[in-house]
Each structure stands twice: as structure tokens, then as C-alpha cells.
């Protein structure tokens, strides 16, 4: 499947480029409503910066019965898995 041309998002790409040029480790969280191109933005940035080490994963979407703490714990578990850190234990475990 061929992707449509990537247009716009210059402000966001410039922000990512500024963080990248700072020459320090950063954690960037891109948050917005669904289906607006967050993953594509990261893919476009990564394609232009191939020497970077980038990890991407999607958070737990909000739905009935999911509280903010559950979303945070899901994020922490995935981050620990990607970075090969000891398993995350919530305060409730």
C-alpha cells in the first residue's frame, strides 16, 4: 500500500527537529484525538532521521470502565518492556 503524500505539520516537525538537535535524550508524548496522523508524523520524522533510536507504541484508548490510572499503568508497562526495564508494578499490585 502506497501512502498518500505527507503535507502540513511543519510546526510539529520543526518542534521534533529542535528536540533532536538538542543532543540529549528526550521522551516525547504526542497526544491528540483519534485519526489525525500522530503515527504518520512520527514515521515521517523517523524516515528523515534514520540514525535515531525511536520507539513507538499506542496507549490504551479511553472507554467505559477504564480510568486514567489504568491508562498510566498500561503506558508504564509498555515503556518498561520497550526499554528492557524491570516489570512495572502498580501501587495496587
Q: How do the domains of the chain map onto residue ranges?
A: 1-54, 55-93
Look at residue 15 in the predicted model and tell me its pLDDT: 93
The Cα 46–Cα 24 span in angstroms is: 16
Average pLDDT over residues 47-70: 80
Averaged pLDDT score across all residues of the chain: 83
Residue 36 Rama label (left phi>0; alpha psi -120 to 50; beta): alpha
28 against 2, higher pLDDT: 28
Q: Kindly state the cell numbers that stand for 25.
A: 535524550
SS3 16: helix
Cell 510539529 -> residue:
12
pLDDT tier at 27, thresholds 50, 70, 90: confident
What are the tens digits of pLDDT across the range 62-89? 788 888 888 888 888 888 888 888 876 6
Amino acid at each position: 500500500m502506497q501512502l498518500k503524500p505527507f503535507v502540513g505539520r511543519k510546526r510539529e516537525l520543526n518542534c521534533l527537529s529542535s528536540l533532536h538537535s538538542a543532543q540529549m535524550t528526550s521522551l516525547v508524548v504526542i497526544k491528540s484525538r483519534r485519526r489525525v496522523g500522530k503515527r504518520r508524523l512520527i514515521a515521517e520524522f523517523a524516515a528523515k532521521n534514520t540514525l535515531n533510536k525511536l520507539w513507538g507504541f499506542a496507549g490504551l484508548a479511553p472507554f467505559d470502565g477504564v480510568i486514567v490510572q489504568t491508562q498510566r499503568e498500561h503506558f508504564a508497562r509498555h515503556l518498561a518492556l520497550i526499554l528492557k526495564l524491570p516489570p512495572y508494578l502498580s501501587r495496587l499490585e
